[in-house]
Amino acid sequence: MRQLPLYQVDAFSKDTFGGNPAAVVPVPVFPPDELMQNIASENNLSETAFVTVRGAGKFHIRWFTPAMEVRLCGHATLASAHILYQSSEAKPEKMLFRTEEAGTITVRPNKNGSYSMDFPLDTPQKIKSPKGLRSVLGGIKPLEVHLGTDDLVVVLKNRKQVENLKPNLPLLAGMKKYRGLLVTAPGKKYDFVSRGFFPYYGIDEDPVTGSAHTVLTPLWAKKLGKKKLTARQVSKRGGDLLCEVRGKKVRLTGHAVTYLTGQILLKNEL
C-alpha cells in the first residue's frame, strides 16, 4: 500500500474554520492526472494542490477542483506555501511556484506570519451585459460588467446587495465561456467586497478566491485611485486580503492556518 501526505489548510484566515479550505498534497512526481482528479474529487474542497520540489525554494504546482484542473488558484497556492515553509528547516526568503499556464508565482513569507504572493495582473475589459446575465442575477441590474481572462465581473451598488445575492446557479453553469461569476461592490471597512461563483467547475460558491483578486484589484485600484487596497470576500466563511498593484503584477497577502494532517492510502493506483 502506498501513502501520500495530505494537509488541509484554511487560507486567507488567521483562525481555523475561516477563509477557504484547501488540500495540499506534496509528491515527489505528479501522479497520473486521473488519480489527481480522483483525489481532488474525494477531498471535495474547492481546490486540491499537488506540489513537487524542483530545487531549493523552487516548486511545481497544479490545482484541481472536484471537477477539473484549473489554470490558476490563489488560496491553494497560499496553503501550499504555508505547508512547505512551515516544514522547511531552511525557511526560504521566497518560494517560486512554476505553473502549467500562469507562469511562475513568487511567494514571500512575512514576519507577521502572513504570505505575499505575486500573480500576473489581469486587466478587466468593460463589456455590455451578456444575454441572460440579469436572469442569473435574479433580476438585479448591474452597474457595470467587466470581463477578465477567466471570469465575468459584475459591479453592484453596495455590500448588502453583494451579500444578499442568490444567483441562478444552473443558468450560470450553462454560461460555459466563463470560468465563473464575480460580484463586487465598494466597501466601508474594506476598499471593496466580493463573492465568487463557479458551478461549471463544481464549486457553487468559493469562500475566498485569490485568483479573482488578480482582476478585482486593478478594477478597484483604477476606480479608487490607489494601488494598495483592503478586500473582503463576504461568503459565509469569509476572508481578508491585502491587494496591491505592482506594475504587471498583483500582490496578494494573507494568512493561513493548518487544520488537518494525514495520509492518503492507495492500493493499486500508483
The verdict on whether 47 is a catalytic residue reads yes
- Residue 133 C-alpha cell reads as 446575465
pLDDT at 158: 97
State the DSSP string of 100-142: SSS-EEEEEE-TTS-EEEEEE----EE-PPPTTHHHHTTTPPP
Element (H, E) at 75: helix 75-86
**Residue 270 predicted with pLDDT over 80:** no
**Residue 269 predicted with pLDDT over 70:** no
| pLDDT average, residue stretch 172-188 | 95
pLDDT tens sequence across 12-60 = 999 999 999 999 999 999 999 999 999 999 999 999 999 999 988 999 9
| pLDDT average, residue stretch 73-96 | 95
CB 73 within 8 Å of CB 51: no
| pLDDT average, residue stretch 163-184 | 96
| pLDDT average, residue stretch 247-269 | 94
Please state, in angstroms and rounded to a whole number, the distance separating the CA atoms of residues 59 and 171.
38
Please state, in angstroms and rounded to a whole number, the distance separating the CA atoms of residues 269 and 141.
49
Please state, in angstroms and rounded to a whole number, the distance separating the CA atoms of residues 47 and 77.
10
pLDDT at 1: 77
Reference 178, options 196, 156, 157; nearest CA is 196
Element (H, E) at 164: helix 159-164
Domains along the chain with CATH numbers: 2-121+254-266 (3.10.310.10), 125-245 (3.10.310.10)
CB 113 within 8 Å of CB 94: no
- Catalytic residue (one of 42, 47, 93, 101): 47
Sole residue written with cell 465575468: 152
β-pairing, 20-26 with 48-55?
parallel
| pLDDT average, residue stretch 116-127 | 97
